[in-house]
Chains A and B, each alone.
Chain A
Amino acid sequence: MKRGLPVLLAIITVALMVIAWFQSGAVGRREMRSASTPDQAVRLMLSQIQAHNFDAAYARLANRSDVERTNFIRDFNGSFGSLLTYASLESFDVWGLRTEDPH
């Protein structure tokens, strides 16, 4: 009983932590970070934009050499005192339209 109760409490604590980890959406976040599907790649980029992590979002572009970083950020943050400069990205919806093999 002396050793049994602490062991039991430790097991219950670990189990509750694992449940909380799953319920917090950590599995979904891990999958999203892998960007292994088009939806996940766009959601990851937009969630980085939402967190104002513009460098990480810019790094997710396939054509970084053609797009200036300041122009990319301005597309989300606005410029010249526009309404977008006073706005914040609250949420986003993403859905795939099509995928194809160009060859």
Chain B
Amino acid sequence: MTSGAFAPKTRTEDREATVRAKLHYTTGVGPLDDVRDLKLQRTGETWKVYWPVNNATKLPPQVIPVNYLRWDVISRGSSDDWGVQNVDSPQVRILSMNAIQRPDSVVLVGEVVNEDSVPAYVNVGATLLGPNDKELAQESSFDKIAHTLLPKQVSPYRIDFPDMRLDKIKNVRMDAKALLVAASADPVIEVNQQKLETDPLGKKVLSGQLTNQSGQIVNIPHVIAAYYDSNGKVVWVSDGYVAQALLPQVPVPFAVDLPPDVAKNVQTYRVVVNHYDNAS
């Protein structure tokens, strides 16, 4: 727990105040920060917090039909002969790869596409090779990718190599692994009001709203944003988890940050929303 560098002095006649609180949460997917501006009122000698009233939209009871595509998979079973071929793995291809030097790491960003007509669970890995094809480091995209890709769907990816310099690297070996999985195009999550802006803490962020168009609750939404320069090249990928669940038809704000030196070169961006459900 720490206090800010500066706090305005409270005069004895002041009866209202505004305080900024930055809350640091720990989660299984990394740290989560929440910034709130809180109003306070003085009652006698004591200050009390004026909590914002949550006027969440209440949806009336209704039926929402689900007409989106869905794929199920029947795999080879234990009763099949040992030589029976299983269903082929889906074909995926890495569309682009851009290596970027950051102050303390090398970052590979790009996009991967599912070229097949069946859904794929995708993971992208990379091996950095030095002189004489010596392996320097090996990493994967971990959660900085939308793993489940429907047919023809494109996902950005990002692979971080901490404590690495570009001048040490002679070659990069990319590896996109794909598994056939059951998947559905539902829930569809709409992204709107996207804009690049500076948040109250002075950070460059891409902010917007997520709206769950389906009738089921999305427990843990995960936003992945790809940023492109004027040539259409991917110059950065950032991601962030949204702390709130997405209730049907209720907009929820999101914001993912990007480095200020990268923000200067960004011409366009694209947001992909991944999600994790408690039931799965």
Does A6 belong to the interface (CB within 8 Å)?
A: no
Closest beta carbon of chain B to A70's beta carbon, Å: 11
**Provided the pairs A83-B243, A97-B37 are in contact, do residues A91 and B4 lie with their beta carbons within 8 angstroms?**
no
Residue in B16, B21, B25 whose beta carbon sits within 8 Å of that of A100 in the complex: B16
Residue in A88, A91, A98 whose beta carbon sits within 8 Å of that of B17 in the complex: A98
Does A71 belong to the interface (CB within 8 Å)?
A: yes
Complex interface bits, A21-47 against B, C-beta within 8 A gives 1, otherwise 0: 000000000000011111111110111
Instruction: Determine if B49 and A60 form an interchain contact, defined as CB atoms under 8 angstroms apart.
Output: yes
CB-CB under 8 A from A39, the residues of chain B are 3-4, 7, 19
Stretch at the interface among B26-34, B89-97, B145-153: B26-34
Complex interface bits, A72-99 against B, C-beta within 8 A gives 1, otherwise 0: 1001001111111011111111111111
Complex interface bits, B29-52 against A, C-beta within 8 A gives 1, otherwise 0: 101100001101101011111110
Question: Chain A: which residue is nearest B241 at the CB level?
Answer: A83
Does A17 belong to the interface (CB within 8 Å)?
A: no
Residue in B11, B27, B49, B244 whose beta carbon sits within 8 Å of that of A99 in the complex: B11
Question: Chain A: which residue is nearest B222 at the CB level?
Answer: A83
Instruction: Determine if B53 and A94 form an interchain contact, defined as CB atoms under 8 angstroms apart.
Output: no
CB-CB under 8 A from B106, the residues of chain A are none
Does A19 belong to the interface (CB within 8 Å)?
A: no
Instruction: Determine if A36 and B51 form an interchain contact, defined as CB atoms under 8 angstroms apart.
Output: no
CB-CB under 8 A from B7, the residues of chain A are 37, 39, 95-96
Q: Kindly state the separation between the CA atoms of A101 and B11 in the bound complex, as whole angstroms.
A: 9
Find residues 4-26 in chain B having any chain A CB closer than 8 Å to their own CB. Answer: 4-11, 13-26
CB-CB under 8 A from B51, the residues of chain A are 61-63, 67, 72
Closest beta carbon of chain A to B29's beta carbon, Å: 7
Does A102 belong to the interface (CB within 8 Å)?
A: yes
CB-CB under 8 A from A34, the residues of chain B are 45-46
Q: Kindly state the separation between the CA atoms of A92 and B2 in the bound complex, as whole angstroms.
A: 7
Instruction: Determine if A82 and B245 form an interchain contact, defined as CB atoms under 8 angstroms apart.
Output: yes
Instruction: Determine if A38 and B47 form an interchain contact, defined as CB atoms under 8 angstroms apart.
Output: yes
Closest beta carbon of chain B to A28's beta carbon, Å: 10
Instruction: Determine if B10 and A38 form an interchain contact, defined as CB atoms under 8 angstroms apart.
Output: yes
A and B contact pairs by CB, cutoff 8 A, 21 listed: A40-B47, A41-B40, A43-B3, A82-B244, A83-B32, A83-B242, A87-B25, A87-B27, A91-B2, A92-B1, A93-B2, A93-B4, A93-B21, A94-B4, A95-B4, A95-B19, A96-B6, A99-B8, A99-B9, A99-B10, A103-B15
